[in-house]
Amino acid sequence: MLAGFSPDELATFAEEGLQGIVAITAMFAFAVWYFSIMRDSGLFDPFISRIVSTIIDKPALLTIGTVGLAMVTHLDGAGATTMLITIPAMLPLYDALDIDRKILAALVALTAGTMNMVPWGGQVVRGVAAIDPATISNVFNPMIPAQIAGMLSVFGISAYYGRRIRENLDAVTAFDGVDEESLIDDAVDGREVSVDWKWWFNFALTIAVLGVLIAGITSPEVSFMIGVVIALLVNVPEYEKQKEVLESYAPDVMTYVGILFAAGVLIGVLEESGMITEMANILVYLIPDVLGSQLPLIVAVVSLPARLLFSPDAFYFGVLPVFAETSAAYGHDPVAVVRASLVGQTVGFPVSPFTGATYLLIGLAGVELGEHIKFTLPLMVIPSSIILVVALLLGAIPL
């Protein structure tokens, strides 16, 4: 209004922003519902049980098992779920071997950060929402090889620490006194672990939903909508219980839905009023041409340390749109800037002092924030660098 726009014009700008954000918001909401149903139906339980049992038998695999467990539990894209399942399950084992808890916190953080590049992860959702909600497959699919390479590097880091544990095992009485059944029961939230026809159906349904998403056969939100409907009919056939299930997941869903709608209003006002274009023009004027042509690469390099300076919303809805508009002025696709931002913004979310999941992580692990950042941040450079190199080699991020 200070710039001379009327309330009616601002309302129109807000409506334009909301219209652009509806699809990505629906995808996020139904993805959370879908994976929450799968989790509570026991889809991940056999994997979790196997990982915990293997670690009990072979303590040297503790760190690798930690990464495997965190990877499985982060398939729903929720950092809190990963922390709440992985750390309580693994912490007694780390304490039994007298292993520094910072290693546990770091491995969970590295895994959750790298896995958070899934399309329904908070950073991807924010990045796509800030630029073009219709481009989520175009953002995610080219980064799949880079994400796989990043996860392999995380397993490599865990193997390094596993080797160090193996060297010290002679002086330790492994897991004497540790109750395996109790650990598994806590990890699966008290559910009975079984692989019946319903488990196989859920497994096949999940593969189908993800396959349709990656192949681009239909829009992501439609894929998860159909998946939720089928999952409810099979796993929770009673109507009243279906309502209870959806309502129980509503707090997780509505928190981000509110954020995305608010972001849609902000982006609509900034874009429709021309503010982003003008800010980008100023940035183009200030940036030397030799640097402007490399803007996606610059965004990728600074995205990890930026995690310590900006909250996710401030970065994606305040900084990224300006970078994307500026990059377009130099001939780059704005989507490439979103991909570049994922290199550090996703991997680095569990060390950010602006992210609630970070405090949940260090609280459960019993680690100080400063020590966690000091120990984990240098390790995060490894998967971030590998993700960047692979993305550059495959053209997902242009040079």
Can you tell me the mean pLDDT for 36-46?
83
Please check whether residue 269 lies inside any domain of the structure.
yes
Residue % of the chain over a pLDDT of 70: 85
The model's confidence at residue 148, banded by pLDDT at 50, 70 and 90, is very high
Identify the top-confidence range among 43-47, 74-78, 207-211, 315-319: 207-211
Structural domains in the chain (count): 1
**Tens digits of per-residue pLDDT, 205-224?**
988 988 887 777 887 788 88
pTM: 0.72
Please check whether residue 2 lies inside any domain of the structure.
no
In this model, does residue 176 exceed pLDDT 70?
no
In this model, does residue 38 exceed pLDDT 50?
yes
Tell me which residue range forms the domain holding 239: 7-393
Task: Tell me the pLDDT of the chain averaged across its residues.
Answer: 80
Please check whether residue 1 lies inside any domain of the structure.
no
Confidence at residue 135, expressed as pLDDT on a 0 to 100 scale = 67
Confidence at residue 289, expressed as pLDDT on a 0 to 100 scale = 67
Can you tell me the mean pLDDT for 365-381?
91
Residue 144 or 167, more confident: 144
What is the three-state SS of the chain? CCCCCCHHHHHHHHHHHHHHHHHHHHHHHHHHHHHHHHHHCCCCHHHHHHHHHHHHHCHHHHHHHHHHHHHHHCCCCCHHHHHHHHHHHHHHHHHHCCCCHHHHHHHHHHHHHHHCCCCCCHHHHHHHHHHCHHHHHHHHHHHHHHHHHHHHHHHHHHHHHHHHHHHHHHHCCCCCCCCHHHHHHHHCCCCCCCCCHHHHHHHHHHHHHHHHHHHCCCCHHHHHHHHHHHHHHHHCCCHHHHHHHHHHHHHHHHHHHHHHHHHHHHHHHHHHCCHHHHHHHHHHHHCCHHHHCCHHHHHHHHCCHHHHCCCHHHHHHHHHHHHHHHHHHCCCCHHHHHHHHHHHHCCCHHHCCCCHHHHHHHHHHCCCHHHHHHHHHHHHHHHHHHHHHHHHHCCCCCC
Please check whether residue 398 lies inside any domain of the structure.
no
The model's confidence at residue 171, banded by pLDDT at 50, 70 and 90, is very low
